[in-house]
Amino acid sequence: MKLLLVLIAAVVLTVVLGQTAWQILAQPTPVDLRELVAEAMPDSGVAHPITAVLLNFRSYDTLLEIGVLVVAGMAGLSMRAVAPLEAPAMRTSDTLLQALLRWFVPFLLVLSAYLLWAGSDRSGGAFQAGAVLGATGVLLRLGGVPLDFLRPGLMLRLGLVLGFAVFLLVAVMGAIRGDMFLAYPQEWAGLLIVVIEAALTLSIAMVLVGLFAVAPAQATERDWPSREGKR
């Protein structure tokens, strides 16, 4: 009965939403942001509009979004001690995985670097590069490679906030120079964006690997009592 009601509500919502969206899309919008972006592109410091919007025109949104990622990573860390890296559950003798790792890891590192670099003039950038780098970390962890920086110490936290801190410093430099918060000096815009993106790539990867590492390797009933006892 409950399921039926939810189903009906979902169908009604979808129909109404679809109809409204259809009506809205049929009319032209009074403001055309694409035009405005195109006009401002020469001043943005990069050649790709998406990168320009994310890291220059609407950089404040991106700054806070990175803050959200850091909070997510932090909340994960605060909840659970990282399972020891040498835990038996994390050790593997899977030869196929080991062999694949040898091929994949260098390849993924190059791919991540390429995505970061590509972001300046085509689709790509910190989020994509960070996701690939994060996936590399996950693979390494699955392969039982001890990643020392994942211990909940200073290194992990430093990696977590590095990108955010670099972004924030660049942001406040604008205000210190007497300009607006987050304003880049025109001639440095391109370089600053690349520096921010490189730092962000590392931190985004760190958040992803960190969250993966704090998740229990094998959630068993035994996990909880042992944890309660420690405190």
Judged by the rule CB under 8 A, the positions of this chain that interact with another protein are: 16-17, 20-21, 23-25, 27, 29-33, 36-37, 40, 56-61, 63-65, 67-68, 70-72, 74-75, 77-80, 154, 157-158, 160-161, 164-165, 168, 171-172, 174-175, 178-184, 224, 228, 231
Min dist. Cβ of residue 123 to another protein (A)? 20
Classify residue 137 as exposed, middle or buried by CB count within 10 Å of its CB (0-12, 13-18, 19+).
buried
CA angle 73, 77, 80 (to 5 degrees): 140
Considering beta carbons, is residue 102 or 231 the nearer one to another protein?
231
Considering beta carbons, is residue 21 or 100 the nearer one to another protein?
21
Min dist. Cβ of residue 133 to another protein (A)? 21
Closest CA to 132 of 109, 153, 165: 109
Considering beta carbons, is residue 118 or 168 the nearer one to another protein?
168
> CB 223: neighbour CB atoms within 10 A?
14
Place of tokens 């406040």: 172
Min dist. Cβ of residue 190 to another protein (A)? 15
Considering beta carbons, is residue 90 or 166 the nearer one to another protein?
166
Min dist. Cβ of residue 90 to another protein (A)? 21
CB of 136 within 8 A of CB of 105?
A: yes
Tell me if residue 142 falls in helix, strand or coil: helix
Considering beta carbons, is residue 40 or 97 the nearer one to another protein?
40
Min dist. Cβ of residue 74 to another protein (A)? 6
- CA distances in angstroms from 208 to 84, 139, 159, 204, listed in the order given: 18, 12, 11, 6
